[in-house]
Structure 1
């Protein structure tokens, strides 16, 4: 299509090759225009199925006049640098989560995007799946009574030792990789009035980053408790549960459901349990469509920006709460 958004991708990350590039190509709103890589062979192999150009290095793609938008699936520690460079070059930006590892930097990037009239979007895909909107409506309609607690867990198995998720200089660690999901889920379901009460982080032997962690949060007003857990050295688990004054609700496959997955919300109350079967959705395609809409509008919806900023603040609070206390010299 002649008015397709020409997207360029920085790097050949697994999520780009497996999820995002196919979704961009299928969307109809995007043309995969270029792939930048420090490895020419890898870049060419990644670009070939899409008829895209393989460019030598990230800066070359940022400067390319035939690219309208940039997707950044690089390690977390590199997001801020390349998102800023893309925005200053007049490109719309979709960056993997977390957008940055510093809430002040995240706010500065949004300010820059506003100044340039550009879309800046963090790629938290699960919030674009309709199952969570259904859960929110159920909670708002009193399906569990008054919310008392929210528990969410996202854990994945250990990866090879050289995986970038285990490199501290690249922003590795469980919190930045899997912890973002339960944190965002709490904010997505319960709203913005959350504060961190405490947190722990643990590194498995031989690793220089946290490989598991947990956080306890509290919602202002009603005092609802939030317990979040996450990890990179576990059996796969992707779930959340909301307990209330009259019942509870659970959702499995909450964060990374396949496009053919049939979501099931399980409700339990005094009368017993029941299941609500929802429609299949492709959250990757939904995310790409949301980014296309943001590009057309020259900005993300205010509520999406606010959610990303709130999430960034909560992540920093968790980092601070999990840090070991100074040892006394007495």
Structure 2
């Protein structure tokens, strides 16, 4: 049986994460190939094209009009995702969107409807979930190694960025909650389920940029397990989670952005002390690209992942709402498993 040709991918935008992680992974991907990269800056597109051996296209719309492109990876600032993902879908292109897919639930619903109406794949680049370390943790939990889960906690925070970083641009969907907050939110969903209630939240807004730069959220699962999440742009780097049970504790200390050639550090704390837990190294970016290519070719289910993306933005929206309500008006919200994905 002859293998299908690789999915020809065009890239909208020249983001740093695309240059460092996604495009090198795409170059190694068997099921897809990088065909072109577009930027509003011809010089930037030329640099990317020269580095990764593809065509440079002057402008986003020109790439969407290219009939040689099967699919588009949207690597633009978050606030531009909804517009250009929609334009790509209307141009007949399958779409992989950098996380978070959109900034609010209305945009999520509109994109889902558009993808279904046009019979096209729409996926979020939820790359961290592809790493096998989370399966290792889940297997340990399900085996009863830590007893009954009593508390989940997760944190993703980074040091301050340069003042001109797009993360501080409110008009481009900046802020810590949408950026680094995405990871602890989705980690909580991964281990505690998609139906999470927001018990309370805080967000600190920078008075000069108008974006949130630090925050916390307290969630609760349907079974009553609390989840404490921390996020921010003002911290020493941290990217991990832990599950604390009645008989032990599991810790993932490089849970969200491990290098592709490094085994992530996992630890089990039990009655006999602390011991390492083996988990393999993995290029999680390459894995999500292979899944996307498989979805485009029709042999990988992508709808469940899209439902998760929609539930994630609902939960982020609920956290933001909780953080902006007065303390005497305690806020809670149930995140359901339904939505626009059919």
- Fold-level similarity (TM above 0.5): yes
DSSP 3-state at the match of 1:176: coil
Match of 1:161 in 2: 163
Greater shift in the superposed pair: 201-210 or 236-245: 201-210
Structure 1: distance between partners of 2:319 and 2:224: 18
Counterparts in 2 of 1:114-133, with a 5 A limit? 114-133=116-135
Structure 2: distance between partners of 1:57 and 1:299: 31
Match of 2:280 in 1: 279
Structure 1 residue 61: deviation in Å? 0.8
For each residue in 1:37-75, what CA deviation from the matched residue of structure 2 results, as whole angstroms up to 9, or x when unmatched? 111111111112333221121111111111111011111
Within the candidate set 148, 170, 177, 1:175 is matched to 177
Match of 1:83 in 2: 85
Match of 2:246 in 1: 245
Structure 1: distance between partners of 2:266 and 2:307: 27
Match of 1:3 in 2: 5
Match of 2:339 in 1: none
Structure 2: distance between partners of 1:107 and 1:134: 33
Match of 1:185 in 2: 187
DSSP 3-state at the match of 2:180: helix
DSSP 3-state at the match of 2:249: strand
Match of 2:313 in 1: 312
DSSP 3-state at the match of 1:202: strand
Structure 1: segments with no counterpart, 5+ residues: none
Counterparts in 2 of 1:127-146, with a 5 A limit? 127-146=129-148
DSSP 3-state at the match of 1:178: coil
Match of 2:202 in 1: 200
Structure 2: segments with no counterpart, 5+ residues: 329-342
Match of 2:267 in 1: 266
DSSP 3-state at the match of 1:249: strand
CA contact (8 A) 2:159 2:233 kept: yes
Match of 2:18 in 1: 16
Structure 2: distance between partners of 1:34 and 1:285: 18
Structure 1 residue 2: deviation in Å? 7.7
DSSP 3-state at the match of 2:163: coil
* Number of residue-to-residue matches in the alignment: 326
Structure 1 residue 134: deviation in Å? 1.4
CA contact (8 A) 1:132 1:189 kept: no
| TM-score when normalising by structure 1 | 0.94
Match of 2:30 in 1: 28
Structure 2: distance between partners of 1:223 and 1:182: 18
Does 2:63 align with 1:53? no
Q: RMSD value over aligned CA atoms?
A: 1.8
Match of 1:254 in 2: 255
| TM-score when normalising by structure 2 | 0.91
